[in-house]
Amino acid sequence: MDLATLIGLIIGIACILWGMYDGGNPSAFWSLSSLAVTFGGGLASTIIAFTLDDFRNLLKVLPKLFKRKEQSPYKLIQLLVELSQKARREGLLALESNQEEIEDEYLKKALELVVDGVEPEIIRDSMQLELDNMSIRHGKCISIFKTLAAEFLHGV
């Protein structure tokens, strides 16, 4: 779990609870009808603004908020150097045995294209397209969160 996400959640919940109990009567902050209008209306307008595919992608991205893979760039560079040396010594087909030990899906896909003998320009275009698509998917997920936040703030 990403520590910053956990700290942010704890601070946010603590601030809400402190605000409720510092003012005296906590029941003044709870009204089921106002919660239904605020959260239900905000959620409904967000659902209207996006497609179901966008929400499916959001469900895939949500777990990534709480866990972060820290990949050392030095280890990645070292791996790439080792792979290039192996390819020079034994040929590109020898890289096929290394595919299973690579955890990064992007790098695994690129290596698969190399082993399959795909032209370098096609590999470069394919991997760039993969990055562009990932950027679009993540951008839509960010937009969903921004829309939800805006709707909830307007409802409050």
Q: Give the C-alpha distances (Å, rounded to integers) separating 65 from 20, 85, 105.
A: 28, 36, 18
Q: Is residue 20 part of a domain?
A: no
Q: Is residue 22 part of a domain?
A: no
User: % helix / strand / coil in the chain, to the nearest 5?
Assistant: 85, 0, 15
Using the CB atoms, write b or e for 24-51: b if 16+ within 10 Å.
eeeeeeeeeeeeeebeeebeeebeeebe
Q: Is residue 18 part of a domain?
A: no
pLDDT at 73: 84
Are 99 and 81 contacting, i.e. CB atoms less than 8 angstroms apart? Answer: no
Please count the CA atoms within 13 angstroms of the CA of 27 that sit on its side-chain side.
Answer: 0
For residue 137, the enclosing domain spans 31-156
Q: Is residue 17 part of a domain?
A: no
Q: Which residues contact 57 (CB under 8 A, 6 or more apart)?
A: 137, 140, 141
Are 106 and 132 contacting, i.e. CB atoms less than 8 angstroms apart? Answer: no
Q: Give the C-alpha distances (Å, rounded to integers) separating 1 from 4, 67, 72.
A: 9, 4, 17
Q: Which residues contact 15 (CB under 8 A, 6 or more apart)?
A: none
- Read off the tokens for 91: 């040929």
The predicted-structure confidence for 119-136, as pLDDT tens digits, reads as follows 999 999 999 999 999 899
Q: Is residue 36 part of a domain?
A: yes
Amino acid at 121: E
Which of 51, 103, 50 shows the shortest CA–CA distance to 75?
103
Q: Is residue 136 part of a domain?
A: yes
pLDDT at 122: 95
pLDDT at 5: 74
Q: Is residue 151 part of a domain?
A: yes
Least confident interval from 2-6, 12-16, 141-145: 2-6
Q: Is residue 63 part of a domain?
A: yes
The predicted-structure confidence for 62-73, as pLDDT tens digits, reads as follows 887 777 677 788
Count structural domains, the chain.
1
